[in-house]
Amino acid sequence: MTKRNKKYDADVLSNLLSALLSFQKLKIEKWEKVEGQVEATNLPGTPTEDWIIPPDEDITSVLLMKDQAYRKLREEIEKLTPVAIEIAHFLKVQAHSLGWLKFTNPLIGNDALEDAINTLKEMQIKQSSTSYLLQKIKSFC
């Protein structure tokens, strides 16, 4: 078990929440348009309409990876999510929504983003009011 530090955990939750809010905003303003443009290049009746994993996702991913803001936010989300999940376990908070923050599709789904944002807000409240010493003692019992 990782040794928890209250200030470090607060920073992780705050930074991940900030990254998700920025990602959500840019997704709506900018990146969904890229995805739509790629999908619009498919002609009706082409094989890509019937594929389980359409090649559109690969094309969209390549285009988005050229965007510095996307790359930076993606890296931050991928780095902080596992730590936030550890914090959730420590705080005994259900954090299934954080597990949905995957980039298997170049853009995280709207519902997954909303759920993760709400979970992080709840975790921040719980984390700020939790005595880490007491929580550590409880985890040993």
Q: What is the pLDDT of residues 69-115, one digit of tens each?
A: 999 999 999 999 999 999 999 999 998 999 999 887 778 888 999 99
Residue-range definition of the domain harbouring residue 30: 6-140
**Residue 56 CB: number of other CB atoms within 10 A?**
19
Residue 25 lies in a domain: yes
Q: How far is CA 1 from CA 57, 77, 78, 90, in A?
A: 37, 22, 20, 9
Residue 12 lies in a domain: yes
pLDDT single digits (tens) 22-70: 999 988 888 777 767 766 666 555 555 554 445 567 777 888 889 899 9
pTM, whole model, 2 decimals?
0.79
**pLDDT for res 96:** 92
d(CA 123, CA 128): 8
Residue 1 lies in a domain: no
- Provide the number of structural domains found in the chain: 1
Burial class (CB in 10 A: 0-12, 13-18, 19+), 3: exposed
